[in-house]
Each structure stands twice: as C-alpha cells, then as structure tokens.
Amino acid sequence: MNADSRTQNVDVYGGSFKVVSIDGSDIPGPGVIQDQTLLIGAGQRYDLLFQVPSDQRILLQSSSADSRSLPDIHIGQGSMPERGQAKGKFDFTAYGSSKPDGLSLDSEFDVVEHLSLSQKAFAAYTINGEIFHHIPPIMVEEGDLVKISMTNNGGGTHPMHLHGHIFKVLSKNGIPLTSDIYMDTLPIEGGETFEIAFVADNPGLWMKHCHNLNHAASGMTMMVNYYGITTPYTVGTLSGNIPD
Ligand SMILES: [Cu+2]
C-alpha cells in the first residue's frame, strides 16, 4: 500500500496480517497482528501479508478526514467485516525483531545534525527556522556514518523523506527501537522526536524534504550534499525553472 501526497490512516479489518516491509526494506521477525490502524506517511510504502478467512473478506479503509483519502480495498470473498474503530495503532517502533547490524545509538557517527520542523507566518514550513533554499545543506563525505535527529515542533505530520539512501530508525522520543526498521520516509507527528542514521554510500546532491508536497513546496525542503559534487543548475526562478 502507499499513500498519495498526504498522510493516510488506514484501518485494516477482517483478518490477521503481518507488516513484512516498510519502504521496501524487510522487517525481521514480523508478528501477526489484527484490527490495526496503519499511519502511512505520504510517499511511504507498506507491504502487508494477509491470512484471508474463508468466509469473510478483508477490508482496508482510510480513515483520514480528507477528500483525497484512498478508496476502500476488499480482499477475498464472503461477508463484510464489522467496521468501526480499529483496536490499536500499529507501532513500528516495537514491531519485529532485531538482528544487530552494527548501526545503533552506540555507533561512532561522523556527522550529527538536528532538524527542528516547524512553521511560520504565511504558511511557510520551516527546517531550523528557515525555508528552502536558505536551509544550509548537511555536508557528508562518502563513507560517513550520519545521525540526524528530527523534532516536529509544529502541528500536523511531516513524513520526512531522504533521496538516494535508506536510513535506520534508532529511537523515538529518546527510547531506542527494539527492532531493525529501515525506511526512506518517516512520518513525524507533532511533538515527536526521532533519531535516524544512514551510511553515506551514494555520492550526489540529494533532497531531504517533507513528502507532504504542499509542505515541501512551502519551504520544508533541504539538501544532503557530498563534498566535491557540484551541479551547473541553480535554484530559483532566475534560473528559468519555475518550481511546481
Ligand atoms: Cu510536512
């Protein structure tokens, strides 16, 4: 499943299932769950594995109060499951198991950055109080181990997406994750702080932005740049490019 350019809350009714991967990265040891709501950030992808009952269908229903919510999805045949409030909110921070892979809060990081996500007047969405392209890039060397903490100091959800890399989610609100979760887009709700880490193994000039695209277009966009990589292109309408 994926969302569109806005975050979706998807209720799953009528059968047990596993979340086997997020953003294309497998989750080790996924457990069987039922009647859960999945918060799927804009740009995220979830892979679900169902046990379809013989006499009842599975229903996936977006509960976002948004005219652009996803259409209902029916799987299997038989009676409709009872709709209503899903019993729990899927918590990826305590789902699956851990296979130590050398990347943890105890790792020695070459680059450590903090990003404060917020907003200011005129509906501008900011990172560290600035909007693109006034936000300084995060500069890395190939091979660096990079840790970024991000706090949503405003309202709403910011699904923060990094191009060119997948990152490991290390902690939420200071509490280390008990499983190995890799993503390329992490939804951060108001008041939440996450720490993520990645290996700088793909030299380039990469966008890091909120995947709620009207937030991205309103400032919440920055770059992760490798030293020594340049581009002839410039940012802004003077270049002749009109941003969408
Ligand atoms: Cu956002």
**Distance of CA 32 from the midpoint of ligand 1 (Å):** 31
pLDDT tier for residue 7 given thresholds of 50, 70 and 90:
confident
Kindly state whether residue 232 falls inside one of the protein's structural domains.
yes
**Distance of CA 117 from the midpoint of ligand 1 (Å):** 8
Cβ pair 158, 213 in contact under 8 A? no
Question: How do strand 111-120 and strand 124-127 relate by DSSP bridges?
Answer: antiparallel
119 and 197 part of one domain:
yes
**Distance of CA 77 from the midpoint of ligand 1 (Å):** 38
81 and 127 part of one domain:
no
Total domains present in the chain? 2
**Distance of CA 92 from the midpoint of ligand 1 (Å):** 20
Contacts of 120-126 spanning 24+ positions with Cβ under 8 A: 123/218, 124/218, 124/219, 125/154, 125/158, 125/210, 125/215, 125/216, 125/218, 125/219, 125/220, 126/219, 126/220
Between 112 and 34, residue with greater pLDDT:
112
64 and 159 part of one domain:
no
55 and 169 part of one domain:
no
**Distance of CA 55 from the midpoint of ligand 1 (Å):** 41
Q: How far apart are CA 37 and CA 12, in angstroms?
A: 6
The last residue of one of the domains, among 94, 128, 150, is 94
Residue 243 predicted with pLDDT over 60: no
119 and 215 part of one domain:
yes
Q: Residue 146 is which amino acid?
A: V
Residue 242 predicted with pLDDT over 70: no
pLDDT at 58: 92
pLDDT at 244: 43
Quote the Cα angle for 13-15-16, to 5°.
Answer: 115
**Distance of CA 200 from the midpoint of ligand 1 (Å):** 24
78 and 18 part of one domain:
yes
**Distance of CA 123 from the midpoint of ligand 1 (Å):** 11
Kindly state whether residue 244 falls inside one of the protein's structural domains.
no
117 and 206 part of one domain:
yes
Give the model confidence (pLDDT) of 52-72 as tens digits: 889 999 999 887 655 566 788
pLDDT at 99: 81
Q: Whole domain around residue 147: which residue ranges?
A: 111-239
Q: Tokens 């921070």 label which residue?
A: 93
Kindly state whether residue 105 falls inside one of the protein's structural domains.
no
Residue 224 predicted with pLDDT over 90: yes
Give the model confidence (pLDDT) of 170-208 as tens digits: 999 999 999 999 999 999 999 999 999 999 999 999 999
**Distance of CA 132 from the midpoint of ligand 1 (Å):** 13
pLDDT at 64: 65
**Distance of CA 208 from the midpoint of ligand 1 (Å):** 12
CATH of the domain at 163: 2.60.40.420
115 and 89 part of one domain:
no
**Distance of CA 217 from the midpoint of ligand 1 (Å):** 10
117 and 235 part of one domain:
yes
Q: How far apart are CA 194 and CA 113, in angstroms?
A: 12
**Distance of CA 75 from the midpoint of ligand 1 (Å):** 32
pLDDT at 146: 98
Between 175 and 101, residue with greater pLDDT:
175
130 and 173 part of one domain:
yes
235 and 149 part of one domain:
yes
Q: How far apart are CA 154 and CA 3, in angstroms?
A: 22
pLDDT at 66: 58
Token code pair at residue 128: 């560290």
**Distance of CA 243 from the midpoint of ligand 1 (Å):** 18
**Distance of CA 157 from the midpoint of ligand 1 (Å):** 6
123 and 194 part of one domain:
yes
pTM, 2 dp:
0.92
Residues whose CB falls within 8 Å of the CB of residue 236, separated by 6 or more in sequence, listed in order: 133
Q: 93 — phi, psi (to 5°)?
A: -75, -15
Cβ pair 78, 55 in contact under 8 A? yes
Kindly state whether residue 40 falls inside one of the protein's structural domains.
yes
Lowest mean pLDDT among 19-23, 44-48, 154-158: 154-158
